[in-house]
Structure 1
Amino acid sequence: MAGPPRTGLGGRGSAAPGDAEKAAGLRRMKLLALVLLIVMAIIFVFAFALQRQYPWLEYVRAAAEGGMVGAIADWFAVTALFKYPMGIKIPHTAIIPNRKDQIGASLGEFVETNFLSEQVVKDKLASVDIARKAGAWLAGPAGPERVAKEGAAFIRGAFKILNDDDVQAVIEGMVRRHLLAPPWGPPVGRLAGRIFADGHHHTLVDLLVDRTVDWVRDNHETVSQLISDRSPQWVPQFVDGLVGDKVYLEILKFTKAVQSDPQHEVRRSIDTYLNSLADDLQHDPVMIARAEGIKAQVLGDPEVRELASRTWGTIKAALLTAVDDPHSELTMKFKAAVHDFGTRLVVDPELAGKVNAWIGDAAGYLVTTYRSDIAGVITETVARWDAEETSQKIELQVGRDLQFIRINGTVVGALAGLAIFTVAHLVFG
């Protein structure tokens, strides 16, 4: 089965900023290391040729010989990391191209173990104190403006993506599920029972009684005319007037009595009726069925669809109008809320601590849950890289420093060769 296609680090022929400068520095360091090797070789040749004539040159020859050995050994070691020395496929050379995938896997495992640790992430976030820094930014002049701007862009983008029919269908479904599906009688009865038990309905009863008294007081002629219209034709007109006045006065007296007496029989009768109605709405199947019938008449299919359409249309129009106007009431209140929240994060250590804890917990959860996937990105990315180009890129990044190994090897080899020859000459010679 074929593996993933090999790709360059940034695509074939691509170059990161500064690569040209790094390549020039690498060439200079390689040239310097090579020059030192050549210098040691020249010194060795002349010292070897003249050492019989000038015995002290034996020490120079030994130093040059050691320097060449160190330079060649370190050249081999550095070169073996990136390619086959002189193109010869010596075992355990060209390490990076040949073991690129294993290196990527090891790097991913190293990052996962040492960096993507829940405690490491939490400790780092705690030291940063994100809550206070975010609060300072939100409390500043630019924070609320930026949040409002980005929020407005998000809302406009969401409305472009959302389908009106789909949203209306969701609203309609919610209305049916949460408003229409449950029976209305029992919850309305329980609510009404609490209202009646606490006496909150007395204010409405007082209002109705007051309006009744006002109407009776202002409609003497209307009451008298009603009596006259309903009396027999043979009754004299003056009798109708007397009866009408008497009935009017009795009605006015009765309504005023109801108005002035909180414990009037009519008021108690109203309380009894209302409490009975609340109880029937909860327990009487006939009353519950009547409430369901009223619900079905008031909120049938057409009414529910129209309600969903109007609700979504109103919300959408209001939000779009508000976010398009930076001075709208909604936008200004949103900015003020963002500013207040930022200020609280700065001045309230308890709130800032809670927010930091939430952030730490969330980051810890994400790291714990997905750290293998995050580290897998490193392994998979390295596996997709082209081996030769990977070696070239890595050499470009660290090769200049590695050339110091060659230079140091030349110097250390020369000193070691000189020291060994001197000790051997003193001991054995």
Structure 2
Amino acid sequence: MQAVATGLLLLAAVVFLLTPDDGAWGYVHAAAEASMVGAVADWFAVTALFRHPLGVPVPHTAIIPRRKDDIGRALEDFVATNFLTGPTARDRWVRAGVSARAARWVGREENARSVVTELLPAARRALAAADRRTVAEVAGEHLLPRLAREPLAPLAGRWLEEVLRTGAHRRLVDLVVDEAVDWLTAHPERVQFIVRTRAPWWSPQWVDDAVVERIHAELLGWARDVQRQPDHRVRASVDDLLGDLARDLQHDPGTAEAMARLQERVLTDPSAATTVAELWEGLAVVLDEALADPDGVLPRRAATAL
């Protein structure tokens, strides 16, 4: 391209030298002269941006090397002011429909599984990097001291209130009741032992046996009633108890103060960081095993969630 431009400039110079400047040839002569002037002017203008033409330090040349920092700052200010402001970026994001397009793409099962498959190695590397010692240091130096200073009672109250609103606690109540029924069914001798050790010495054996059998039957029947009846008064009492606790955590100064004392005692204990690290270590092993199989339950659920 440089050779072509130089050749055209030389051609214009030859035409300029060989043609007279009067008559009809005068137009050709003038056109050749204008071509040379324009070519030299363009060359000078473009060259002056990047260096001194012919190495001569003409003023206002080599503009970019001399003022690159100023140009960079001006360009930065222009882009930040006109393109990267919150409203502008948000408007362009909305008009481009990035979220909707990404949602449609990830909504396809094969794409969701592909995303999860690509993320699995990174997730496992992150789990491996967070070793027990690192977690203990982070928890002891940053996480637990920060939590100890935060007023967690209102947050716990709101969380408990939301749990009650959604009924998420009912599954835990069901689990406790189911375990109680199973234990009472499988271990009647434990009930017998507890009752007999508290019976008076003068009570006849046959009376103790009858009382024990009746108490065990009543306990088991009561537990089964709670198990079968979603509106049992025991369940209602649990709801009332948790509801009162949620309100007290948010609005009762005494409850909030008791929560703060418990929070400080637990979170400032020297063994708290070690406990957090041990819990994390066990959780990391379970998660790593779950992530090791791309077709396992956790990756499949992650793909479904996406």
Structure 1-normalised TM-score? 0.40
Percent identity (aligned): 20
Q: Deviations over 1:2-52 (max 9, x none)?
A: xxxxxxxxxxxxxxxxxxxxxxx2432332243233223322xxx35xxxx
Cα separation, 2, equivalents of 1:327 and 1:157: 19
The answer on 1:42 being equivalent to 2:38 is no
Please point out which of 161, 164, 171 is paired with 2:129. Answer: 161
Deviations 1:221-276, CA, capped at 9 Å, x for gaps: xx8xx99xx78xxxxxxxxxxx83xx63487369749977x9xxxxxxxxxxxxxx
Tell me the secondary structure at the aligned position of residue 327 of structure 1.
coil
Match of 1:121 among 75, 84, 89: 89
Q: Specify the code of the residue in structure 2 equivalent to 1:252.
A: A
**Alignment gaps of 5+ in structure 1:** 1-24, 49-56, 192-199, 232-242, 263-287, 339-429
**CA 1:248–1:106 in structure 2 vs 1: closer, same or farther (change >3 Å)?**
closer
- Partners of 1:37 and 1:67 within 8 A in 2: no
Q: Aligned runs of 1:288-367 on 2, under 5 Å?
A: 307-308=275-276, 310-338=278-306
Kept in 1: contact 2:116–2:302 (CA 8 A) = yes
Match of 2:229 in 1: none
- Following the alignment from structure 1 to structure 2, what is the Cα–Cα distance between the partners of residues 87 and 178? 66
- Residues 169 and 308 in structure 1, CA contact (< 8 A), matched pair in contact too: no
Q: Judging changes above 3 Å, is the alpha-carbon distance between structure 1 residues 104 and 166 closer, same or farther for their aligned structure 2 residues?
A: closer
Output the CA distance in 2 between the equivalents of 1:108 and 1:32. 39
Letter of the structure 2 residue corresponding to residue 77 of structure 1? A
Q: 1:149 aligns with which of 93, 113, 117?
A: 117
Q: How many residues align?
A: 224
**CA–CA separation in structure 2 for the residues paired with 1:175 and 1:96:** 53
Structure with higher Rg: it is 1
Residue of structure 1 equivalent to 2:167: none
- After superposition, the CA RMSD in angstroms is 4.9
Structure 1: which amino acid aligns with 2:107?
A
CA distance in 1, matches of 2:60, 2:147: 71
Aligned to 2:234: none
Change (3 A) 1:145 1:89: same
Alpha-carbon spacing, 1:72–1:151, altered in 2? closer, same or farther (3 Å): same
Checking the alignment, whether the CA contact within 8 Å between 1:168 and 1:312 is kept in structure 2 is no
Aligned to 2:39: 75
Distance 1:74 1:257 in 2: 112
Alignment of 1:15-414 (within 5 A): 25-43=1-19, 47=20, 58-61=23-26, 63-81=27-45, 82-83=47-48, 84=52, 89-93=57-61, 95-96=63-64, 99-170=67-138, 244=204, 248-249=206-207, 252=210, 256=214, 307-308=275-276, 310-338=278-306
- Counterpart of 1:8? none
Distance 1:311 1:147 in 2: 29
**Which residue pairs with 1:416 in the alignment?**
none
Amino acid at match of 1:69: E
How far 1:215 moved relative to its partner? 6.2
The CA distance in 2 between the partners of 1:99 and 1:253, in whole Å, is 99
TM-score (norm 2): 0.53
Give 1:125's aligned amino acid: W
Which SS does the other structure have where 2:295 is aligned? coil
Shift of 1:100: 4.7
Change (3 A) 1:125 1:72: same
